[in-house]
Chains A and B, each alone.
Chain A
């Protein structure tokens, strides 16, 4: 397997961060200041990345998350936490698969049974996972320029159609910074800015620790700023409408009309969104498969069917899109995901630091 190049890592981080995020209006509770909340969330995510996730990688650049857990927490506890992470990765993939399927059903293929669509979506991911991590990273590298190009095109069209009404965003910080921060934390860390914990599975495939460190941060900030801009754009175009629509981005692009020629871009936007969701769900799928194979010691391709079936079954288990969104945004983001994204990483880092401190003292 070839080492993952820095460009590949950067494209993977960017696409992973974008992922399904443009589907939602992030930090909706902050109302007109949502874009500031996204910015705050991004900063918080960057701090988390810098002080926890990347630090763990720096201390143990050659171990994946699953491999370092038993080392620092002992076999029983370490394996238990590793299993929890496998479950977490799988569950994250499940959420994306379900989103994918539901959106397909709602917007493109209303008459096709959801089961079939979910099956196709999981199969599509499994095909990418089957080819391994280096192929997945090359895929992101190949896809990224197109995604960036199309998003840039959409933004151009929005500006050309003269849709932007900056007054929609005024007054800025009407009720002070407090509700903004409250909207940002911890929800926005959980989704999407804290999800970088997955890359503890991938970073060790890169060639240089220091460059990986820099690339990750730069790519993370790029994706974050894009989300801030997208958020601001949606707010300025849709105003109060943005809080009530299912997919605000789609609502916005619906309004695009450049000279009567460029209009009805919805399917293209949808495909753009799907690509993002697809890549994200595949990244989690891949992470879960690698984690399971490292934990169980079996060949990683053997781990694809069990994880795939788990994802498929999990995606079917939600009763509706609304239930899925409610569980995700009300419960998971506040209570469950922070454990994996914030608590455990800091715990790992603390144990690593204490261990190295102890061993250094023992040497002296």
Chain B
């Protein structure tokens, strides 16, 4: 994007600011004039209301939803005007809190400082004084109502943002049986509400960015002062400020722009649609990024083991949570290795199998025209096709797919002698194991790695698989997420953090924050919160 910035120097704008929106941007202004030019946008407002109105109309190309309500005086000779975009304001708000007061004051009769009068008397919380055309347009496009008065080269923008929004619903991709059932929506304000309600601490910091020259998307960076590593926050802030693109339509864009390593199959930034997961991440020293228009928040820095933790681990009992955690790691390994191991053992190392099993497998494969590798690749690809079909197809045709998938491709393929029954079992179990991984991006990584492993196992046997695993391990330990090694706390090994990796120990034992925060403000429980030992209980009994 650098070269683009240099080609069009006027499009470059200040990286980050709390209120200042990106200036050079916005939709085409029709009438063959081409896009809004920076000269127009940087121009100061005129003292003449008429000229200002004409300029705005020209810049927006007379958009149909631009509403201009002129007040006082006769038509074409008014003293004030209210402008807003019908499509993104709450007209109830505009009418009641902007229009009504203005009409009642009969602005035309006002003498003296009209600006001061508006500032003091307009009953709107967010009121911004502007004096540049560009700012005016930006606010207008963000759902503010603009109040222009004649004879003053300044204007006010009143927050009247509205429009249709989805309500808070149950999470669709990360479901739990026990635990909060709210999920993020597309509105950044709603999402902030959900988070603020969960963390009522003054330490929760929110920094706002506007990213995307055309989309002007609001992006909030959240962290807990004193818990999140300042270095990580700074790194994220810098990388967010560097993003200079046309559009941000989902947090996925942000993820790819700020991640440390692009050429990897592994996700180094978590995403979640669960506000409680984000809150937990914040409390464990991660920073969160929420993007307007996306119900998926990002959490960074993140590590490999984080992708195997589900919110429910912390809400259900520790014993079952630990058991399921281990099941997930095993499933991950199965999902990567099972088909390749099957191929390698049946092709190269038959001596490893017990004789009866070997005979049974050999008899099944009798008449199968392909080598095991081709057979497995075919079936895995078929499954991936079925899966993608299941995701993309209209819901009504769902049953049809399952019938075709299960009966025709499974049973019939075996009966026709195209594939062996054992292969179907291997492929199906691999597929099911893949669904156990609680985060979709990690299971996607497993799906892709599986194919590499299958080819390695089919060409070099166990040695190939071992080489693949070694490369995978080296790659994993070389990855970093915002300066934190990806395999923390396994390598570098941090004993204290192991309480929440392979197992999830009971809450009272997890005294220290895991992982990212390291030594930084580590204690999160009062000393009295320890698990009562046998002797403690006896003593309490004695007291009673």
Contact = CB atoms under 8 A, between A and B. Distances in A.
Contacts of B485: 2, 138
B288 to A, nearest CB: 26
A267 B352 CA distance: 8
B467 to A, nearest CB: 5
Contacts of B466: 271, 274-275
Nearest to A274: B466
A104 B467 CA distance: 12
Interface string B456-471: 0000111100110011
B509 interface: no
Interface string A91-124: 0000000000000100011001000010010001
Interface string B482-502: 000101001111000000000
A164 interface: no
B47 interface: no
A109 B352 contact: no
B478 interface: yes
B461 A141 contact: no
B487 A138 contact: yes
B492 A135 contact: no
A134 to B, nearest CB: 9
B463 A142 contact: no
A278 B470 contact: yes
Nearest to B483: A2
B477 interface: yes
B351 interface: yes
A163 B491 CA distance: 36
Contact of A127 (B462, B474, B476, B490): B474
B278 to A, nearest CB: 29
A120 B492 contact: no
Interface string A2-36: 10010110000000000000000000000000000
Contacts of B487: 138, 142
Given A7-B492, A131-B478, A139 B463 contact: no
Contacts of B473: 139, 142-143
B348 interface: yes
Nearest to A104: B463
A8 B461 contact: no
Contacts of A141: 490-493
Interface residues of A, number: 29
B349 interface: yes
A264 interface: yes
A128 interface: yes
A264 B463 contact: no
A293 to B, nearest CB: 19
Given A109-B461, A109-B463, A7 B474 contact: no
Given A141-B491, A143-B473, A264-B351, A135 B478 contact: yes
A191 B275 CA distance: 58
Contacts of A124: 467, 470-471
Contacts of A278: 470
Contacts of B348: 108-109
A135 B476 CA distance: 9
Given A7-B493, A135-B478, A138-B487, A120 B351 contact: no
A142 B467 contact: no
Counting from the closest, the 5 A-B pairs by CB-CB distance are A142-B491, A138-B491, A138-B477, A141-B491, A131-B478
Interface of B: 348-349, 351-352, 354, 460-463, 466-467, 470-471, 473-474, 476-478, 485, 487, 490-493
Interface of A: 2, 5, 7-8, 104, 108-109, 112, 117, 120, 124, 127-128, 131-132, 135, 138-139, 141-143, 264, 266-267, 270-271, 274-275, 278
Given A108-B463, A142-B473, 10 more contacts: A5-B492, A8-B493, A117-B463, A120-B463, A127-B474, A131-B477, A142-B476, A264-B352, A267-B349, A278-B470
